[in-house]
Chains A and B, each alone.
Chain A
Amino acid sequence: MAILSAYRTTVGKKIVMAVTGLIWVGYVVLHMFGNLKFFNGAGDGLGTINAWAHFLRVFGQEVVGYAGVLWLARVVLLVALVLHVATAIQLKRLNGASRPVAYQRRGYLQTDLPARSMWWGGVFILMFVVYHVLHMTAGTVHPAFVEGDVFHNLTVGLGEPLAGAFYLTAMVALGLHLYHGTWSVFQTLGVDVFDRSSAIRRAGQALALVIAGGFMLVPLSILLGFMR
């Protein structure tokens, strides 16, 4: 009950944003780590991305069956995503309603682009996630999807300049989102990290750059012709 009543407050909602966001931060770190295996080439040999994809499906199958862990993760991620988005929409409404008349002139002293782009950047990332699942997981919008051959799906799918550019743009948005979001998690959970010299704040921002950069390596290498 206490949790529900806390959720009704803006601060409670922020805690939900923080916790669900943190789950996704953990996920994208793993995802990015997996993506880097792309550079080990095609096929399903040791260390390749195809082997990694296979591993994710067979991991823990003795207990929960084939792809069980993967589906479990997907359910957790989906729940987290739904909560993150639903809460974001509620907060956006509250925040939007809090100033019915806008300032004629608006100046800023502290806030930065990452902080101000959280909403529209988030909307963009959400659109990308839907597209990305259809593109790389379900394959429905992929020109030549092959179940299990991740290397092939990547090189073909991201080889299309439009899809590659969309991917890259989404990663810029993700980088910005995480640049503000990662350290904000700590602030929201009660650790004072607002100071720009705070180690946690800097680590969060560094992580955001590493994640976005890591993700961008794959499409860049394909589009620039390093990987075929």
Chain B
Amino acid sequence: MNLTLKVWRQEGPQAPGRFETYAARDIEADMSFLEMLDIVNEGIILAGGDPIAFDHDCREGICGMCGLVIDGLAHGPRQCTTCQLYMRNFRDGDTITVEPWRVRAFPVVKDLVVDRGALDRIIAAGGYVSAGTGSAPDANGTLIPKPDADAAFDAAVCIGCGACAAACPNGSAMLFTAAKVSHLSHLPQGQPERYARVVRMVERMDEEGFGGCTNHGECAGVCPAKIDMGVIARLNRDLLVATLKGGG
């Protein structure tokens, strides 16, 4: 199939961006979206141009490095990572608009590459259990009911791609933050720091310049790890309890 791409090009964080149009020819249905971009880039390079910069790494949907807004949807129409989006989801002759994550907290580095350091800093604010290496008791010393372990796992599968914030009409990173809060608050190991953690992480999230959650659910709609909005309710509850306890 032959496609037309409208791709956001931006030389650096301060440079003004613009859309450039490229033709993607002889694209096969079995190609991934990123393989399609590889081909377009090889064409650009051989024609003497500057290839489109985009992030990617594992190309199997788990590392969270890739992420493009495709026709207005973070990671495209399939609720999977961009690397797991295959060209059979498009039709011959389509025009596809490709943009970077657009969130103030994710400044554009170049073209479609953005800086998601804000997400690391949210984790650094408290998204962990303070257990030093070597200090651990026996793994079976604390029983964890299977439903709790499963609920923790459901939240822990976040891949940190940032699609939630990119898709949110408010540019909020609540799903990301809440996934980590929820993961740790379901486990006995996470209890001692539970309320201090949620306050610190939410404060850091705000400092980074993300917006607030108004329960649109776009985040969960695009989340390739299929994290549920329930994690946000849990974060809200933990923050409310933290406030009532006077903690934080």
Contacts and interface: CB of A to CB of B under 8 A. Distances in A.
A192 B229 contact: yes
B5 to A, nearest CB: 13
A106 B216 CA distance: 14
Interface string B206-225: 10011111111110111000
B203 A107 contact: no
Contact of A94 (B17, B212, B242, B245): B212
B199 A6 contact: yes
B170 A95 contact: yes
A190 B237 contact: yes
B240 A95 contact: no
Interface residues of B, number: 60
A197 interface: no
Nearest to A15: B240
Given A5-B248, A111-B217, A98 B236 contact: no
B73 A101 contact: no
B69 A98 contact: no
B221 A110 contact: yes
A125 B199 CA distance: 33
Interface residues of A, number: 47
Contacts of B99: 103-105
B104 to A, nearest CB: 5
A3 B243 contact: yes
A91 B236 CA distance: 16
A91 B13 CA distance: 26
Nearest to B229: A194
B220 A1 contact: no
Contacts of B212: 10-11, 13-14, 91, 94-95
B233 A192 contact: yes
A161 to B, nearest CB: 35
B229 A187 contact: yes
B240 to A, nearest CB: 6
Contacts of B183: none
A91 B228 CA distance: 23
B72 A106 contact: yes
B237 A189 contact: yes
B247 interface: yes
Given A6-B248, A109-B221, A118 B243 contact: no
Contact of B220 (A116, A191, A194): A194
A180 B103 contact: no
A130 interface: no
A2 B247 contact: yes
B102 interface: yes
Contacts of A186: 233
Instruction: Kindly list the 3 A-B residue pairs having the minimum CB-CB distance in the complex, ordered from nearest.
Output: A190-B237, A98-B171, A10-B212
6 contacts: A2-B243, A11-B174, A91-B211, A96-B211, A104-B19, A187-B229
Given A11-B202, A11-B235, 13 more contacts: A1-B246, A14-B213, A15-B243, A94-B170, A94-B211, A101-B102, A107-B77, A108-B72, A111-B217, A180-B215, A189-B240, A192-B230, A194-B215
